[in-house]
Amino acid sequence: MRTVFFLASLVWTVQGAWALEPWPHEAPEQWGLAIVDVETTGLNPGHHEMVDLGAIYVTLTGEELGRFFVRIMPEHPQRAGEIARSINGFSVARWQDLEAVAPAEAVRRFLEFHARFAGDRRFVFTAYNAPFDRSFLDALLRRHGSAYDRLYLYFALDLPSMAFGAGTIALRNAEVAAAFGVAPETDDPLEHTGLSGADWNLALYRAMLQAGHGPAFLRP
């Protein structure tokens, strides 16, 4: 069974690679970045849930194509941890006041946004903690009839890894921000959202390009 699964995965990977040509270095205008940030009720995507989702779609040179934000009322708000609440300010009453929508409606809106702004471009998922954001987004999409891999490649860009490779030996966003002259992301739970995070991620990406930490054909 494992052999069959491995072979099926290998075939999918090869077919996917063929379908991805031309690659970004060959035709950058045909590619883009989906810069995403999510806020959640905790750390476990199989147990906790997203409470908001922010996304900014940009070209590889950081030019904005479109942006998205939605607050989501979780189905199990009692699972929200105190640390998560202290970061994103979640409470049922506050989310009701802010007109949070049900998860299914959030997915519908997000898929509509993606269809509108993705066009013919192929998008690489990009986040500050890409495995975290990716796993929560995939869990939400799968619960409502879609999936991460219907929208994005199996590749993902992790911003602190990019900064690490550029010589900034730091992981926390305050230190990485300082290294590239970017103001720290807000830590006010009433202002901290997926969209504020996506905005900060985009600012960091642009700063890294400006500093020359990227392919020559992408630098300003």
User: pLDDT value at position 4?
Assistant: 36
**What is the DSSP code (8-state) at residue 29?**
G
Q: What are phi and psi of 114, to 5 degrees?
A: -60, -45
Give the span between the Cα atoms of 29 and 121, in whole angstroms: 8
Alpha helices in 40-187 (DSSP H): 82-88, 92-97, 103-118, 130-143, 159-165, 173-179
Q: What is the mean pLDDT of each run of 10 residues along the chain (220 residues)?
A: 40 45 92 98 96 98 97 98 97 98 98 95 96 97 95 94 90 92 94 97 95 64
Contacts of 217 (CB under 8 A, 6+ apart): 25, 28
User: pLDDT value at position 20?
Assistant: 74
User: pLDDT value at position 76?
Assistant: 98
In three-state secondary structure terms, 174 is helix
Name the pairing type of β-strands 64-71 and 122-127.
Answer: unpaired
Contacts of 100 (CB under 8 A, 6+ apart): 51, 52, 71, 72, 73
